[in-house]
Structure 1
Amino acid sequence: MSRPPANQPPARGPVVLALPFAGRWLAGNSPARRVPSHGTDLLGERYAIDFTGVDDRGRTAAHRDWVTYVGTEPPERFFAYGRAILAPAAGVVVEAFDGEVDHPARRSQLALVPYALGQAARLRAGVGAIAGNHIVIELVGGAGFLALVHLRAGSIRVRQGDTVNPGQPLAECGNSGNSTQPHLHLQVMDSPDLSIARGLPLAFRRYREWPAGAKHPVLRDVGIPSEGATVEPLPS
């Protein structure tokens, strides 16, 4: 009988969540495209997904200028920054870390190159340098542990031991940790400790999806947003 790789848990159905926000967001590094979605099994990221807030035109920021092409930009310039992050499921907070600053954003290739060269140093610095400000929730029924990552400094509204319900405001989207543009990184894991956690499959319920390049949306009862798709939660 074949067995899963030593660093992965046995196969299981996905943990189904609500989208943790209102409005429109762009899906990136989706496990619908590849697994591991972020190119690594480290830090429980095997099935992780990223969401970047956009406007109705699909833009992540209202404008570009010369700074966009040669340097860094303030995170406040981006639509995602400061948007409310909501609990996507019921559970208990097992970690609420808020001790990292929000970094300048980088859309410029000139600014991204030196940032990429610093990746190894951030890994050596530990979970806080990668995840930034983050919340870990133990999901009800032993479904796993949910991590919401790259939150805005000073915005976390819950503490360890708090019970949370779906749709409850938890924090705001930020640009802390290993993040080049304000966005939300979300993953489900088999442990609350990101340094040893293994990623678990996830899916989302009731949302409208505009696949990349599509003019008309598709309604999803349960699914995983495709790479480059814009999504918007449907009323429950």
Structure 2
Amino acid sequence: MPKELAVLDLAFPFAGRWLTQNSPADRVPSHGTTRFASSHSIDFVPVDAEDRSARFSLASLLRPEPPERFVGFGRPVLAPADGTVVSVHDADPDHEAHRGFPSVGYALTQSRRADRGWQHLAGNHILIRIDGAILALCHLQRGSIRTQVGAEVHVGEEIGRCGNSGNSTEPHLHLQAIDRTDPDRADAVPFTLRGRLPRNGEIVVA
């Protein structure tokens, strides 16, 4: 049995308007699997004042789109707690986004990416050691990470930018907490954000 873990309370790792997806407030495991200690992970999609990640057109329905079309591509990602950076990966390309019919084909290849390991799902990411857990912030923009292994980061500090690397259908931020640096062996650590967890479809303004 996994050991009982205390719930962490974190700051939101961003500013502006973000749409909540795959929230553990709605179900656990939040992403439909316990693999890679993802049971309590959560996703946030940057949106505009009309709550759109990007304008949806006939082209969006039929073919992949460049990530630059999305309002959140390159939006700052902030440290959600004080801690020490223990891992950085910043080399993966930002691939095209997949909405409409292209998303079906992309979803069919997800298991293949998972079989290659957590890093192929996470894309560009930062791991931060805090008191009681390791925080993972994933799918960052290539070349955007502003910190390095061993650096101390502080809550609210910009550490990277929102991208579309790894297992991502459109630019967004994946946040999870685990009890050790190896997601293959880790247990998920539950957390809240400013005292609660937003539900799926909720717009967070931070």
**2:145 paired residue number:** 156
**1:224 paired residue number:** 197
Q: Does 2:50 align with 1:57?
A: yes
RMSD between superposed Cα atoms in Å: 1.1
**What is the TM-score normalised by the length of structure 2?**
0.97
In the alignment, structure 2 segments of 5+ residues that lack a partner are none
Counterpart-to-counterpart distance in 1, 2:62 and 2:198: 32
Q: Does 2:160 align with 1:171?
A: yes
Which consecutive aligned stretches of 4+ in structure 1 deviate over 6 angstroms post-superposition? none
1:166-212 per-residue CA deviation (whole Å, 9 max, x = no partner) reads: 0111000000000001000001110111222211111011xxxxxxx
**What is the TM-score normalised by the length of structure 1?**
0.85
Q: Does 2:98 align with 1:125?
A: no
Q: Alignment identity in percent?
A: 46
Aligned partner (choices 188, 191, 214) of residue 177 of structure 2: 188
Counterpart-to-counterpart distance in 2, 1:111 and 1:197: 33
Aligned partner (choices 42, 46, 50) of residue 39 of structure 2: 46
**1:100–1:128 contact (8 Å) kept in structure 2:** no
**1:208 paired residue number:** none
Mark the structure with the bigger radius of gyration. 1
Which one-letter code corresponds to 1:96 in the other structure? V
Partner-residue secondary structure (3-state), 1:151:
coil
Counterpart-to-counterpart distance in 2, 1:9 and 1:44: 13
Question: Offset of 1:27 from its aligned partner?
Answer: 0.4
Counterpart-to-counterpart distance in 2, 1:9 and 1:50: 25
Q: Does 2:6 align with 1:9?
A: no
Question: Offset of 1:46 from its aligned partner?
Answer: 0.8
In the alignment, structure 1 segments of 5+ residues that lack a partner are 1-5, 206-221
**1:94 paired residue number:** 86
Query: What is the count of residue pairs matched by the alignment?
Result: 206
Counterpart-to-counterpart distance in 1, 2:115 and 2:23: 26
Which one-letter code corresponds to 2:117 in the other structure? G
Counterpart-to-counterpart distance in 1, 2:106 and 2:145: 26
